[in-house]
Amino acid sequence: MTTDNDDHIDWGGFGRPLFEDAAAMGLGRVGVIDVGSNSVRMVVFDGAARSPAYFYNEKIMCALGAGLSETGHLNPEGRVRALSAIRRFAALAEGMGIAPLTAVATAAVREASDGMDFRDEVLRETGVKIWVIDGREEARLSAQGVLLGWPGSYGLVCDIGGSSMELADLAEGRVGRRVTSALGPLKLREIKGGKKAVKAYVKETMASLHSEMDGETAMRLFLVGGSWRAIARIDMERRGYPLTVLHEYRMTARQISKTVDYIAMSDPLELRQRCNISESRMSLVPLASIVLKELMRVFKPKDVAVSSYGIREGMLYEQMPKELRERDPLIEACRFAEAKDARLPGFGRILYDFVRPLFPRANWQRKRIIKAACLLHDVSWRAHPDYRGEVTFDNATRANLGGLKHSERVMLGLSLLYRYQNKRGGTRLDPLYAMLDAVQIQEAEILGRAMRLGAMLWLDADKSPGQLKWKPKKRELTLVLAHEARPLFGEVAEARLASLTEALGATTKVKFDKPV
């Protein structure tokens, strides 16, 4: 636990940890319910790190908004299913000790003539109070969800639900203008006149949205919502993309155009089975594709990123203290993992200082990866020794870590794989290495081998075992060991130093500090 007595510690580039402070501990476990037009989902976030883990995540496809345009009422069958789902979620929350839940409802409930009646019924039957939010508030919360993963982001956030689609501006990490529309696939499905009429309506509505956003183009577009994620998953399948992690997946306008055509030409049943997409979600994908194609044409984004974080994460972000919001989600999540799972919590900071001289030209993005690797270097120690390398790679590439590009995930994973083994080839992971260039692969190898050496020189979480001095032009590496660490430099440590030297293509010297 962090106390006033920790003030003497030099936290360096890491900053003082926040996840044990009182304000952050209040977010130790938070449950939220999102009552959407197509699905009802409960998420329980665990841990007060800046990028918290998903302790529980359950979704029921209820289609509350189906037929709303024609009847003006919530779908009767969907209403029954939604009430049943919320009753279940309330019971689960009670068992987890996290009641009351924070619950919001979006387009279907706010637009239906019986929406408020449904809200009141839920309160009577389950004790869950639903906040029915308007489209602008929905856009704000979705944009805040993006900020959970990308603090300081800029660009345009587009959140598509069953009955609506929202846009929000992000600049300097703050939410700006927000607009809402009826471009959700459930609404588009009810337009008379076939595909031609749908396209005309989408074109007219998108032009109106563009005007409301002052005719801006988007340098960066963040896509939020299940239909966008389904399209991204199909794009991965079409391209043969090796890392099937949707968060931070990038697409170009050309790739999106090809995928929209690919969807139109494919058999829906066969495609959804290959991509593991539910039948109810797949039924909305063709209509969502029309919207996405027009969105790209009108707003002309240069960069498109898929965000798995949306309104639910935005609700969590809403409750975060300002100081926690401003922290790097990657580093805070890794520190939380180290505190929970490492054998010597706190040594990651020492290890970072130990390996840092090997990367004198690293920019701030690369330093983040080095820090993250050092914090995670020992969290998978319980895995079987024969598989530890692959386990650490999988954990890094597939874990819920915010603020990481896919190539950075692979580089982090490869660094941790080299932390536990000297070779990387001949496994199921080989296709993923193609996401890195030769320089990145070499840096990952050097970092992993340096961590492998440093892990042999544990003293305690606050004391450095020594330092590495690196002269890249002369290719000279010097290991200067603290006097207290001298007994730790045995045969295995010598072999690991030789392995690091080989990766650097260097000559090596070992020196020992004199006793104080």
Block residue for tokens 């974080």: 309
For residue 100, cis peptide bond before it (omega within 30 degrees of 0): yes
Residues 88, 140 within the same domain: no
Nearest to 447 by CA among 349, 373, 341, 362: 373
Q: Give the separation between CA 423 and CA 122, rounded to whole angstroms.
A: 57
Residue 7 lies in a domain: no
Strand order in the sheet with 476-481: 466-471, 476-481, 507-512
In this structure, the chain runs to a length of 516
The CATH number covering residue 186 comes to 3.30.420.150
- Please give the Cα distance from 325 to 151 (Å, whole number): 7
Give yes or no: residues 34 and 151 share one domain. Answer: no
In-domain check, residue 123: yes
156 and 302 co-located in one domain: yes
End of a domain among 247, 280, 312? 312
- The domain boundary, picked from 253, 284, 312, lies at 312
Tokens found for residue 496: 């690991």
| Predicted pLDDT of residue 449 | 97
Query: Does 439 lie in the same domain as 393?
Result: yes
* Per-residue CA distances from 516 to 75, 478, 482, 513 (Å): 78, 21, 10, 9
Query: Whole domain around residue 373: which residue ranges?
Result: 327-463
The whole-number pLDDT of residue 216 equals 75
What residues contact residue 404 under an 8 Å CB cut-off, 6+ apart?
A: 248, 330, 412
Q: Give yes or no: residues 456 and 430 share one domain.
A: yes
Residue 211 structure tokens: 């005007």
Domain check: are 230 and 295 in the same one?
yes
CATH number at residue 127: 3.30.420.40
Closest by CA to 211, choosing from 166, 176, 170, 179, is 179
Do 301 and 427 belong together in one domain? Answer: no
* CATH number for 410: 1.10.3210.10
pLDDT per residue over 203-238, tens digit each? Answer: 999 999 999 998 777 789 999 999 999 999 999 999
pTM, full prediction: 0.88
d(C-alpha 431, C-alpha 193), whole Å = 46
92 and 23 share one domain:
yes
What pLDDT shows up at residue 2? Answer: 39
- pLDDT tens digit at each of 516 positions of the chain: 333 444 444 444 454 443 445 544 445 688 999 999 999 999 998 765 577 678 899 999 999 999 998 999 999 999 999 999 999 999 999 999 987 888 999 999 999 999 999 999 999 999 999 999 999 999 999 999 999 988 888 999 999 999 999 999 999 888 999 999 999 999 999 999 999 999 999 999 999 999 999 877 778 999 999 999 999 999 999 999 999 999 999 999 999 999 999 999 999 999 999 999 999 999 999 999 999 999 999 999 999 999 999 999 998 888 888 878 888 889 988 988 898 899 999 999 999 999 999 999 999 999 999 999 999 999 999 999 999 999 999 999 988 888 899 999 999 999 999 999 988 877 788 999 999 999 999 999 999 999 999 999 987 778 889 999 999 999 999 999 998 899 999 999 999 999 999 999 999 999 998 876
The answer to the question of residue 89 being in a domain is yes
Residues 212, 69 within the same domain: no
Tally of domains within the chain: 3
- If asked whether residues 211 and 112 sit together in one domain, one would say no
One DSSP character per residue, 48-66 reads: SSSS-EEEEEEEEE--TTT
